[in-house]
Amino acid sequence: MNKIMTFALLTLSLIAIPASALTLTEARQQGRVGETLSGYIAALKNDSETRARVEQINQARRENYQQLADSNHLPRDEVAKLAGQKLVSRAQPGEYVQGINGKWLKK
């Protein structure tokens, strides 16, 4: 399962992004988005660029989680939660993560 999660995280990090678009790294560093234990990012800033980026990233994640779930005979939500735990734990200092209590924490 660790190989699967590593592959999933690598795949997620390689998603093509237009050069002018807000990158996930930029959005994290600017405090516009945060990682959740559900495996998806959430918008912390309510502007159209951030909301659009969150939807784009989460859609790509849903597709990747579904592929991994199908190939491993697991529910997509289980794959997403495993990825969420890893993504939250790997968040960099200064980035936001949502705790199990639902509150946002700055690492």
Q: Provide the whole-model pTM.
A: 0.79
Residue 17 has pLDDT above 50, yes or no: no
Encoded amino acid at 16, one letter: A
> Please, which pLDDT band fits residue 7 given cuts at 50, 70 and 90?
low
Query: How is the chain split into domains, by residue range?
Result: 2-17+24-106
| Beta-strand relationship, 33-35 and 41-43 | antiparallel
Yes or no: say if 75 and 69 are a contact pair by the CB < 8 Å rule.
yes
The confidence score (pLDDT) of residue 53 equals 94
- pLDDT tens figures, 28-38: 999 999 999 99
- pLDDT tens figures, 23-81: 999 999 999 999 999 999 999 999 999 999 999 999 999 999 999 999 999 999 999 99
What DSSP string describes 66-105? HHHHHHHT--HHHHHHHHHHHHHHTPPTT-EEE-TTS-EE
Cα separation, 63 vs 37, whole angstroms = 17
Q: Would you state the structure tokens that stand for residue 98, as one six-digit string?
A: 């949502």
Distance spanning both ends of the chain, measured CA to CA: 26
